[in-house]
Structure 1
Amino acid sequence: MSDFWDTVNRVITGAAAYITDEHGRVLLVDPNYRDHWTFPGGMIDAGEHPAQACAREIAEELGLEVEVEVGALLTVAWTDGLPNIPYSLVTFTFDCGEIASDTPITLQAEELDDYGFFTVEEAEQRLASHSYQRLLATAAARDSGRLTYLPPAQNRLISQEG
């Protein structure tokens, strides 16, 4: 039996929130442990399902518990080739609705340096290439009401600078 389990794929799983403001700009955070901005969210803990992890991360990272509801799953992205991560990453991105741009946000100081609301064009300058592709797919999924899957070929980390 152990031979079988040695052959199965292993992945790391994460959950992220797609939150926009009244102007349609996406909320992004600036982690102090990465070179790029990203969606609010993080790794899924043992025993959590993705939506639970998303809600937990929103509360921990942004201090938003009442203002945001975890809604529909918008994208599932499979990312290969991340630096210093030996496995693929599967990220579940949920529609967490709209909040006013002046909503009080309390950043988790241990992990985040800043946050902001950005247009798609502004976000492209801040996000890693694979995260930007996820942003485009996630925005389109919210508009269409259809779940989108981003396979590795469409969601590969192109470069550290990308």
Structure 2
Amino acid sequence: MIVWLNGAFGAGKTTAACELVDLLPGSTLYDPELLGTGLRVMLPKERVAQVDDFQELPAWRRLVADTAVALLTEVPGPLIAPMTLLRQEYRDEIFGALASRRVPVCHFLLHAEETILRDRIAQRAAVDGGSTRDWCLGHLPAYQAALPWITADAHTVDTTGLSPRRTAERVAEVVREGAGAVDIVQTPEPTAETVAAGVLLFDEEDRVLLVDPTYKPGWEFPGGVVEQGEPPARAGMREVAEEVGLELADVPRLLVIDWEPPRAAGFGGLRLLFDGGLLESARADELLLPGAELRDWRFASESEAAGLLPPERFRRLRWALRARERGTTLNLEAGAPVGI
């Protein structure tokens, strides 16, 4: 298990984490910031210069989960991770990767009002010579902007007036009670190439239905991995029923088949998109989302989808829309049509 202590930069998470180690038997302090420091040393300077924060590096987000799993083969756990996470898509990527390895996450927000945070940052600056003061203060607006999603996801501990020890005691009490656990689907990571089927559903304005997974970054189409011996179109229908609670009456028509090449972080495989047709507004109102898997849905135009979908998914959608307009099926390789 990982006890993740979230909060503003300079809010005292590490101090509370050190106290928490004394309160939870078998626990170990796990500082993901050390991974960022290591990447800054190992990566080419040109790559490091491209980001303002090491959290922007996909390698860091992957290493956070991989290193946690490796540590839990050496120590009984839990791991105590004092780390600010302000971008929900990073939360999804890291917590989803941990869930896929069957590592439970207890997510806590150590919160205090801004005046208190500023005082704590000033006290820390008096100790470290002010080396981090501007960084911490500069990220307070981002912290305030992130509070709606963090408070919805994490168990909040109001640290106003609490010492680090008392804060740790509050967290330990919640952990012992079994609360604070993140409800997130445990989707196993693939071990070989996969076949996945997605279904495009459209509203009266010809916008496409997108869903927001809790276990990976970016939006997605309803769908999932085709099970062994399962027809792909039927797999897409099954996933639509499981994910949004809709039973499709007819087998959808294939729009694109896309070969996704293997890369360092994945095995790739075949990705199919089917045309699920019109979803009338009355039926859209009946959509039901499994909270552990999907947090939201929306209809999006092609231009809106460009800002929501990861690039490879948007390329697939773009060609699927062209295939739908032409009444044909397109064969893609890495998101580009071939054989036409």
Point out the structure with the larger helix share.
2
Normalising to structure 2: TM-score of the pair?
0.40
> How far apart are 1:89 and its partner, in Å?
2.4
> Within 5 A, what are the aligned runs for 1:6-155?
11-66=193-248, 69-81=250-262, 84-85=265-266, 87-102=267-282, 103=284, 104-152=286-334, 154=336
C-alpha separation between the residues in 2 aligned to 1:109 and 1:28?
15
Give 1:21's aligned amino acid: D
| Equivalent in the alignment of 1:5 | none
> How far apart are 1:70 and its partner, in Å?
3.0
Q: Secondary structure at the match of 2:319?
A: helix
C-alpha separation between the residues in 2 aligned to 1:153 and 1:96?
21
Q: Which runs of 5+ in 1 are unaligned?
A: 1-9, 156-162
Q: Which runs of 5+ in 2 are unaligned?
A: 1-191
C-alpha separation between the residues in 2 aligned to 1:139 and 1:40?
16
Does structure 1 conserve the Cα–Cα contact (< 8 Å) formed by 2:200 and 2:208?
yes
Give 2:251's aligned amino acid: V
C-alpha separation between the residues in 2 aligned to 1:127 and 1:26?
12
Higher-Rg structure is: 2
Does structure 1 conserve the Cα–Cα contact (< 8 Å) formed by 2:316 and 2:335?
no
Give 1:136's aligned amino acid: R
C-alpha separation between the residues in 2 aligned to 1:101 and 1:138?
23
The superposition leaves residues 113-135 of structure 1 with CA deviations (integer Å, 9 ceiling, x where unpaired) of 11100011111000010110111
Give 2:309's aligned amino acid: L
> How far apart are 1:101 and its partner, in Å?
3.4
Normalising to structure 1: TM-score of the pair?
0.82
Give 1:133's aligned amino acid: R
Point out the structure with the larger strand share.
1
Name the count of aligned residue pairs: 144
Identity among equivalent positions (%) equals 35
